[in-house]
Structure 1
Amino acid sequence: MLREFKLPDVGEGLLEAEIVRWHVAPGDTVKVNQTIVEIETAKAVVELPCPFEGTVSALMAAEGQTVEVGTPIISVRTGDDDGAPPAEAAPEAAPEKTGKTGKTEKREPVLVGYGVKASATRRRPRKAAPANGGGTQATVSAPPAHPARPATPVPAVPAAPGEARALAKPPVRKLARDLGVDLTTLTGTGPHGSITRADVEAAAGTAPPAVHRREAGRAPGREERIPVRGVRRATAQAMVASAFTAPHVTEFLQVDVTATMEAVGRLRRLPDFADVKVSPLLLVARALMTAVKRHPMVNATWTDEEIIVKHYVNLGIAAATERGLIVPNVKDADALSLPELAHALGELTERARAGRCTPADLSGGTITITNIGVFGVDSGTPIINPGEVAILAFGQIRDMPWVVDGQLAVRKVTTLALSFDHRVVDGELGSRMLRDVGDMLEDPLRMLAWS
């Protein structure tokens, strides 16, 4: 029989996702838990496993297309011919049971953590009224009175007669209608034969000679237009909201980190750190968390109604990736030993660079470090991560003239910049916090004394 897999809510009530890359094609054989597609939500790129075993019948959404939670994205022909309705992935496995006819009904294997949540379709109801004239639609459909038919790709928006056979995104369909182009007469050059804007413009003879969009197989010309979506869109919205909501204050401090660099060199030679990269960021992170224990108000959240002070540290590390800026965090970082923290930071960085951070990695942070020094930058004014009240920017470490015991010397120097929300952290508290971090980097033994 033919079964449809609907886009699941992969966490935190997300309402839509973009199809990034298919790992299967029509005709391929798939197994339960085999990765079939990568999707990009507003928080991360997620790999979805298949809840069925069988042969792929159709891909019902193209790469680059944004679809809503609950929309069928793939159909799989399984070996079951019992006439049962297409099954959906359920939250947990259910045992076989005997129906009224005495026949044993087989339940489909399921994937923990996947499947469309019943609440997902109720969070933000569609504006269009149901066909019966009103009322709330049930999330579970009644079994059809006829056998399931092979699925065909479903357009994301209503299509004109004859357009349903053409695979194209909603903006491309609108452009075709505006320009009077019949999509069914075009051969798509996009992923899986989908029709692109360039295809429509070429057919209409309106393609601008020097302006190209980023489409598969097309090199950019004098201008390039990159769609803002997924992680990049979510980050932009969050940063704008933070910058215009929280009253930012940024303070700067130059620090002699010669002793910290010597400590990093000694740590690298210890057996506990033999299989992990030890960088100055490790000691900056430890210094920040030690300072948080002395000044807990910088590890808080403002809610308009109350200030929530967190007595744990989920340490965020800002990371620049191909998909934009993300801030994954190490959970309960303050409870980790120094070797454990080094391993956790290394694993988090690898996941971020590979685009494999989960929604859980990207949520729940309490305070953040942004390492702008890796780009050769001395300092900046970082924007506070939403939900937090402070962020520390760590600049490049370079040789500079420095006065030591009244004598001029060449030392390893960096600049720290602490941005904080003035609704929670006043100038005195922010200054004491920044000074404590600087003191510990000038003399790492203070981390032990103040822990």
Structure 2
Amino acid sequence: MLPDLGEGLPEAELVQWMVAEGDTVTLNQTIAEVETAKAVVELPSPYAGTVTALHAGAGDVVMVGSVLISFDIGGDDAPAPAPAAESAEESAKAEPNLVGYGAAPRGSARPQRRSRAAAGAHVSSSSDTAVLEAAPHDAIHLAEPDRPLERPRSTPPVRLHAKQLGVDLALVEATGASGLITRSDVDAYATRVGASLTAAVPTAQPEPISDLRQPSTPGERTTRTPIRGVRKHTADAMVRSAFTAPHVTTFLTVDVTATTELIASLKADRSLQEHKIGVMAVAAKAVCLALARHPGLNSRWDDAAGEIVEHHYVNLGIAAATGRGLVVPNIRDAQDLTLVELADAIRGLAETARAGKTSPAEMMGGTFSITNVGVFGVDAGTPILNPGEAGILAVGAVRRQPWEHRGEIALRDVMTLALSFDHRLVDGEQGSRFLVDVADVLREPGRAMLLR
């Protein structure tokens, strides 16, 4: 069955099969690519055996819990089918514990629930008992071997959400397919016990419209595009952000000649050539330094709890252009990284995104974002906040133009910065001071040596 691939998303679109009926596959071999509202995800095979049926085609939207693929795992080493009278516990013991899918359910620790199968889909006996959840964890065993205790089964994003809420998953009742704890289960429990924190979910940017356009015939005057996947999620998130957080955008044009000269000198250093240090890395470092002095830009508004949650770390979102559009993975604990390490992290995120390998987890938990509109030759814009974040900085193009310098007119490298912020959390003075601090580092990168 299609597993829950993160954040309790109810469906995914099948991008392509990597196997065909009759193929022999090994355990954990990639069998398909599916696209959620967050990212393209590779699905590993839960069995070693032969593919007997594919229950969906490329482009189909499949509900979580619906049958996706059937296997023949017959052979001397295959687990024998459980007799009808055998308990669910005995049947579950025959299932493989696949890395990436979680341990099989045991006994009556959680009630068995009917999975949402695709209409008219035929389920083979081998796939009837398969438990396919994307929850990479191991079972926790008690000291007594005959009393195994399994960790509550959930996906990594749900476990992160529960951690941020302060919720113990062992106390949460599961309603998902095959006893899987979903995000809504955690929220329902948190509401009952009065837990307050909610997770900040960064948003991915829209995929190119050409990827989803329906084939058209010559002479057609319109083209209809399905609203789904990344585009649907982005639209929902942007509307929620635009009409929830009061946006304010402030601009500042700065002479960054000293930064471009620094970058040129670093590129000339043979020991640093492989690190590809650019303006974005310096801007990222400047943002981390400025956030330490202006924590209001590194916080979020918790409406349910009536609290402002201030982060003491920086998960820095970096917009990355891909064939599917822009995605915004984040650099964890960016405040602890050097300029070289930030450059490497930005490069790594971009390469992973372009390869279509960015996971949903990598786009979760951001606290502040940077978008580089300058790479498209744009000077400035008014970026919309990622839901749950207080600020986003747009970095414009570096242009060589006449500029006042030491009382004279000279050709200088000039760049415009645009900062959008949540006016509930940040007032005009705080936003302006933050932007000036970022600009000061770009104007005189040596100032970074003086900041903490």
With structure 2 as the length reference, what TM-score do the two structures score?
0.72
- Matched residue, 2:344: 343
Superposition deviation, residue 274 in structure 1? 2.5
CA distance in 2, matches of 1:70, 1:76: 16
Q: Structure 1: which amino acid aligns with 2:65?
A: G
Superposition deviation, residue 224 in structure 1? 2.9
CA distance in 2, matches of 1:325, 1:385: 13
Distance 1:69 1:220, change over 3 A: farther
Distance 1:16 1:406, change over 3 A: same
Residue pair 1:398, 1:412 contacting (<8 A) in 2 also: yes
Q: How does 1:380-419 map to 2 (within 5 A)?
A: 380-419=381-420
Superposition deviation, residue 353 in structure 1? 1.6
Distance 1:435 1:59, change over 3 A: same
Give the SS at the match of 1:349.
helix
Alignment match of 2:31 (pick from 24, 27, 36): 36
CA distance in 1, matches of 2:266, 2:17: 44
Give the SS at the match of 1:302.
strand
Distance 1:277 1:15, change over 3 A: same
Residue pair 2:299, 2:367 contacting (<8 A) in 1 also: yes
Give the SS at the match of 1:72.
coil
Superposition deviation, residue 396 in structure 1? 0.3
Distance 1:55 1:408, change over 3 A: same
Give the SS at the match of 1:32.
coil
- Matched residue, 1:365: 366
CA distance in 1, matches of 2:308, 2:437: 23
Distance 1:104 1:389, change over 3 A: closer
- Matched residue, 1:10: 5
Q: Structure 2: which amino acid aligns with 1:391?
A: I
Residue pair 2:317, 2:367 contacting (<8 A) in 1 also: yes
Give the SS at the match of 1:311.
coil
Give the SS at the match of 2:21.
coil
> Which runs of 5 or more structure 2 residues have no equivalent in the other structure?
106-110, 117-122, 129-211
Q: Structure 2: which amino acid aligns with 1:245?
A: T
CA distance in 2, matches of 1:344, 1:139: 43
Give the SS at the match of 2:68.
strand
Superposition deviation, residue 114 in structure 1? 2.0
CA distance in 2, matches of 1:408, 1:425: 36
- Matched residue, 2:272: 273
Distance 1:362 1:32, change over 3 A: same
* Structure 1 range deviating more: 414-423 or 229-238: 229-238
Spell out, residue by residue over 1:361-397, the C-alpha distance to the aligned partner (whole angstroms, 9 max, x if none): 1100000001000000000100011110100000000
Give the SS at the match of 1:441.
helix
Spell out, residue by residue over 1:281-319, the C-alpha distance to the aligned partner (whole angstroms, 9 max, x if none): 110110111100111111011112111111100000123
- Matched residue, 1:144: none
Give the SS at the match of 1:20.
strand
- Matched residue, 2:438: 437
Identity %, equivalent residues: 54
Between structure 1 and structure 2, the one with the greater Rg is 1
Q: Structure 2: which amino acid aligns with 1:290?
A: L
Distance 1:444 1:106, change over 3 A: same
Q: Structure 1: which amino acid aligns with 2:355?
A: A
Alignment match of 1:114 (pick from 101, 107, 110): 101
Residue pair 1:7, 1:115 contacting (<8 A) in 2 also: no
With structure 1 as the length reference, what TM-score do the two structures score?
0.72
CA distance in 2, matches of 1:105, 1:361: 32
Distance 1:440 1:107, change over 3 A: same
Distance 1:220 1:416, change over 3 A: farther
Structure 2 residue 239 is the aligned partner of structure 1 residue 240? yes
> Which runs of 5 or more structure 1 residues have no equivalent in the other structure?
1-5, 87-98, 119-135, 142-146, 153-212
Distance 1:220 1:327, change over 3 A: farther
CA distance in 2, matches of 1:221, 1:350: 38
Superposition deviation, residue 44 in structure 1? 1.0
Residue pair 2:214, 2:224 contacting (<8 A) in 1 also: no
- Matched residue, 1:188: none
Residue pair 1:231, 1:326 contacting (<8 A) in 2 also: no
CA distance in 2, matches of 1:283, 1:224: 42
